Structure 1
Amino acid sequence: MAAIASSGVKPITGMLRRGLILDLSIALGLGFTFGSAFWYGYHMPRTNARDNFYKKLEEQRAAKAGN
C-alpha cells in the first residue's frame, strides 16, 4: 500500500470539480451567446416585420372603410 502511495503519480482530486465548472461555464456562456444572437438577430427582426405588415394592412383596411 505504501509503495503505491509513494509512487510518482499525483492524486487526481479536484480535477472532476474543476472540469465540471469549466464545462458548465463554457456551455452556459455559449448558450447565452448563441441564444442572444438568435433572439436579436433573427427572432426580433422577423417579429417586427410581421407586426409592421399587419399594422400596414390594418391601416389600409381602415382607410377603405373610411374611419
Structure 2
Amino acid sequence: MVQPITGMLRRGLITDLSIAIGLGALMGNAFWYGYHVPRTNARDNYYKKLEEERAARQGN
C-alpha cells in the first residue's frame, strides 16, 4: 500500500529551514568572532599605539 504524501512537504520544509538557519547562525558567528572582532581589535590597538607615540613626541 502507498502511504499518503501529506505532511512530508511541511516536515521537509521545516527541516530544511531549521538546518539553513542553524548553519547560517553558526557561520555568521564564526565570521564575526573568528575574523571581524580580532581584526577590529588589531586595528584599534594599532591606532591607540600611534596616538600614544604622537602624544609622547609632543610631551603630553
Any gaps of 5 or more consecutive residues in structure 2?
none
Q: Which residue of 2 aligns with 1:51?
A: 44
Query: Is 2:56 the counterpart of 1:66?
Result: no
User: Normalising to structure 1: TM-score of the pair?
Assistant: 0.86
Instruction: Report the Cα offset of residue 9 of structure 1.
Output: 1.8
The 4+ residue runs of structure 1 with deviation greater than 3 A are none
Larger Rg: 1
In structure 2, what residue type is equivalent to 1:16? L
Q: Which residue of 1 aligns with 2:29?
A: 36
Instruction: Report the Cα offset of residue 30 of structure 1.
Output: 0.4
Q: Which residue of 2 aligns with 1:27?
A: 20
Count residues in correspondence.
Answer: 60
User: Normalising to structure 2: TM-score of the pair?
Assistant: 0.95
Q: In the aligned structure 2, how far is the partner of 1:10 from the partner of 1:49?
A: 59
RMSD: 0.6
Percent identity (aligned): 78
